[in-house]
Amino acid sequence: MSAVFAALFVFLGAYALTGHRASEETVDLRFPLRGGTYDVAHGGSRTIVNYHHEYLPQQYALDIVKLNAGGWRTNGIYPSELQAYAIYGDTLYSPCNGKVLEAVDGFEDRAPTLSEKLPEGVPPAGNHVAIGCLDTKVYIAHMQKGSVKVKVGDTVDVNTPLGLVGNSGNTSEPHLHIHAERNGAGVPITFNGEFLARNGLIRQ
User: For residue 26, what pLDDT band results from cuts at 50, 70 and 90?
Assistant: very high
Predicted model pTM: 0.88
Q: Which domains does the chain have, with CATH numbers?
A: 2-203 (2.70.70.10)
203 φ/ψ sector (left φ>0, alpha ψ -120 to 50, else beta): beta
What's residue 57's pLDDT? 94
Alpha carbon distance 137, 189 (integer Å)? 12
CA–CA separation, 45 and 203 (whole Å): 22
pLDDT at 128 over 90: yes
Taking only the tens place, the pLDDT of each residue in 30-50 is 999 999 999 999 998 788 888
Reduced to 3 states, what is the DSSP secondary structure of residue 24? coil
